[in-house]
Amino acid sequence: MERYKLLVSDPIAESGLNKLKEFFEVDYRPGLPKEELLNIIGDYSALVVRSETKVTKEVIEKAKNLKVIGRAGVGVDNIDVEEATRKGILVINAPEGNTIAACEHTIGLMLAISRKIPQAFSLLKQGKWERKSFIGNELYGKTLGLVGLGRIGSEVAKRAKSFKMRVIAYDPFISPEKAKELDVELYSDLHSLIKEADYISLHLPLTQETKNLIGKKELEMMKPTAYLINCARGGLVDEDALYEVLKEKKIAGAALDVFKNEPINPDNPLLTLDNVVLTPHLGASTQEAQEKVALIVAEDIIRFFKGEMVSHA
Ligand code: NAD
Ligand code: MLT
């Protein structure tokens, strides 16, 4: 196979990187500034990214030799897939590599916000043995409303069942049989789910249709005792409206791993609230997931250049 030039512009696991180096002339440049990416992208036949690099129309226009873009993860919302396709560039992702990591992070967020674990630890570090302010809530017997019952949503449902939660879901694209198999009640209307759930957890892609799916109206429909969990994409929620309902204590709290703009600004008002738990897009950040997604993408890109069928285009 000809040794094509391949650029990796976000951090990926060494195992995937080494695999790529067997076949390509690899430039590993995590954190590459946008302007530099625009200057050099024309030299490469393949590009590998995570979520930090924005592969915009402008980047694709400059990518005269690019044949394939590999996304070491699920969401391709940082890539202009339509433009890439128009230019004949294939977009490959690694959809199943980080499912468990994102699912476990979601469960972690649910527990952390319910028992105020980060808030209690923060006071303890200041020398304050504070118990009475940290009366939490149990997951047991509560209703979990999943928006999106795909790979991650399904795994969250299975674990929630072990906590003896009632699980309901809104996903217009899955079959009633699949929901039944998971012992999940499928709702055909998002608003009914929102009104009933004690925890709402988002597990759907960010697209033009799903942008701000959870807006002011939806947030105000939530029970005052309910929590919102978002380990999918920041753009699914109207962040300004969320800040308002949290500040006014119209809902119990929110646990967020993802934000409209990442990284968030240090002056993001969400950081001033007590009824939130925030993590910096760590859903897929486990050793296991990072190795899997890097290897899945590397192997698929190699298949592509060998003229073989790829698994995740
Ligand atoms: P998936 O494709 O397996 O599942 C998504 C589900 O959403 C599908 O079943 C689809 O039918 C459903 N869906 C689509 N539009 C919908 C709508 N309008 N309303 C309700 N449901 C809708 O994807 P997945 O692997 O489960 O990933 C889910 C999300 O999690 C993606 O946005 C992905 O990018 C994100 N993710 C985040 C992290 C992280 O680090 N925080 C890690 C992995 C994945
Ligand atoms: C994904 O969509 O896979 C996630 O955002 C994980 C990531 O790339 O960090």
> Which residue out of 9, 50, 151 has the highest number of ligand 2 atoms within 8 Å of its CB and is therefore the one to mutate?
50
- Kindly state if the Cβ of 51 falls inside 6 Å of ligand 2: yes
**Residue 201 DSSP code:** E
Q: Is the peptide bond before 263 cis (omega within 30 degrees of 0)?
A: yes
pLDDT for res 1: 80
pLDDT for res 92: 97
Q: In this structure, how many other beta carbons lie within 10 angstroms of the beta carbon of residue 213?
A: 20
Beta strands in 159-275 (DSSP E): 166-170, 185-187, 199-202, 227-230, 253-256
> Which residue out of 9, 51, 91, 92 has the highest number of ligand 2 atoms within 8 Å of its CB and is therefore the one to mutate?
51
Ligand 2 atom nearest the C-alpha of 98 is 3
Cα(134)–Cα(112) distance, integer angstroms: 11
Ligand 2 atom nearest the C-alpha of 77 is 2
Cα(3)–Cα(29) distance, integer angstroms: 18
> How close is the Cα of 232 to the center of ligand 1, in Å?
6
Q: In this structure, how many other beta carbons lie within 10 angstroms of the beta carbon of residue 93?
A: 22
Q: Tell me what ipTM this predicted complex has.
A: 0.99
- pTM here is 0.97
Record the tokens describing residue 209, joined without a space: 């249709």
pLDDT for res 313: 83
Mean pLDDT by 10 residues, the chain (313 residues): 95 97 98 97 98 97 98 96 98 97 99 98 97 96 99 98 98 98 98 98 97 98 98 98 98 98 96 98 98 97 96 85
- Give nearest CA residue, ligand 1 atom 14: 204
> How close is the Cα of 36 to the center of ligand 1, in Å?
31
pLDDT for res 276: 98
- Kindly state if the Cβ of 73 falls inside 6 Å of ligand 2: yes
pLDDT for res 47: 98
- Coil, helix or strand at residue 246: helix
Q: In this structure, how many other beta carbons lie within 10 angstroms of the beta carbon of residue 107?
A: 19
pLDDT for res 312: 82
